[in-house]
Amino acid sequence: MTLQSPSLDIGSAAPVKATPASAARGYWQTVRRRLSRDPVTLVCVGLLLLIVAASLAAPWLGLADPYKTSMLRRLHPIGSPGHLLGTDELGRDMLSRLVYGGRLSLFMGVTPVVCSLLIGGLLGITAGFLGGRVNMLIMRVMDVFYAFPSVLLAISLSGAMGAGADNTLLSLTLVFIPPICRVAESVTTQVRGFDFVDAARASGAGMLTIVRVHVLGNVLGPILVYATSLISVAIILAAGLSFLGLGVKPPEPEWGLMLNTLRQAIYVNPVLAALPGVMIFVTSICFNLMSDGLRAAMDVKG
């Protein structure tokens, strides 16, 4: 994807060829302008920032202890005195556990995607730029992982390694490396055939220089947009593993684990039992819509 934006010299009407730096600035200005005119993306970004800020600032918000239990306060309804969102099956404050649970749930969603982006992106760019046997070797190994559905693969890996946050992070990272690698390889293969890459080779530029200057700037955008869409999947998969007992262990506050422990309360207080699911849904849909907004804003042909 080449970006050229011809400009006009102030003193004449003759067009002046834009420099790569000015073209890049013009492109990102266009992206920012498109994002500023997308109310759905702005609302989703605002909600995500609110969830992240509340989760990070949880110790300073004056919330109740998320681990303190009381059998006398079990399953208090929403709006109870001293408990805005009620209490769970062990009498722990739901608002506090939801806010603190956001820290672990977001961490379990973002960290595997970031690790997969670094590993899968590097493998995909290498395979796409070098081609030949290197491409075949890397992509055939990635194809092995595609023989299994992502959910089944995550459950199998977590079950084999055992329950725990560390094993969940590792299993999700392994699940997301192949799709990111495939996207990176596809985009890099397209960029490798562009004229400016051939011109750089003809001018005597080295391979690392070509990749750093001409390839990365054109492939990172699509890869990052795709990786953003995977965060919502990672949050759902991590919550699902915790729900099945293969993820975070009690008594840690985590939205999927909270769904598991509250599943029996659905007959007593269904609204209270649904609160962790609502948080998972809102966070996941915000990441999805934000990814769609970024994709539309970065589409120079749109």
Q: pLDDT, tens digit, for every residue of 179-195?
A: 999 999 999 988 887 77
**Residue 18 — very low, low, confident or very high, per pLDDT cuts 50/70/90?**
very low
Q: What is the share, in percent, of the chain residues with pLDDT greater than 70?
A: 90
H or E stretch including 15? strand 15-16
What CA–CA distances, in Å, run from 7 to 19, 32, 59, 125, 248?
10, 20, 52, 33, 56
Q: Does position 8 have pLDDT exceeding 50, yes or no?
A: no
The pLDDT value given to residue 22: 55
Residue 153 has pLDDT above 70, yes or no: yes
> Is the pLDDT reported for residue 280 higher than 70?
yes
Cis peptide before 270 (omega within 30 of 0): no
Determine which of 58-72, 130-144, 187-201 has the lowest per-residue pLDDT on average. 187-201
* Residues near 68 by beta carbon (within 8 Å), at least 6 away in sequence: 92, 93
Kindly state which CATH superfamily the domain 103-297 is placed in: MetI-like (1.10.3720.10)
User: What's residue 132's pLDDT?
Assistant: 87
Q: Which of 29-33, 55-59, 161-165 is the most confident on average? A: 55-59
For residue 6, what pLDDT is reported? 35
**Amino acid residing at 158:** S
Based on the number of CB atoms within 10 Å of its own CB, is 47 exposed (0-12), middle (13-18) or buried (19 or more)?
middle
Evaluate if residue 196 carries a pLDDT over 90: no
* Angstrom distance (rounded) from CA 138 to CA 141: 5
Averaged pLDDT of the chain: 84
Amino acid at 191: V
**pLDDT band at residue 300 under the 50/70/90 scheme:** low
pLDDT confidence of residue 13: 36
Residue 29: its pLDDT value, please? Answer: 80
- Does residue 11 register a pLDDT over 80? no
Angle formed at CA 73 by CA 67 and CA 74, multiple of 5 degrees: 80
Residue ranges covered by each domain of the chain = 103-297
What is the reported pLDDT for 25?
64
Q: Work out the average pLDDT over 197-220.
A: 78
Phi/psi for 15 (5° steps) reads -70, 145
Instruction: State the pLDDT at residue 302.
Output: 45
Closest CA to 279 of 85, 91, 9: 85
276 or 13: which leads in pLDDT: 276
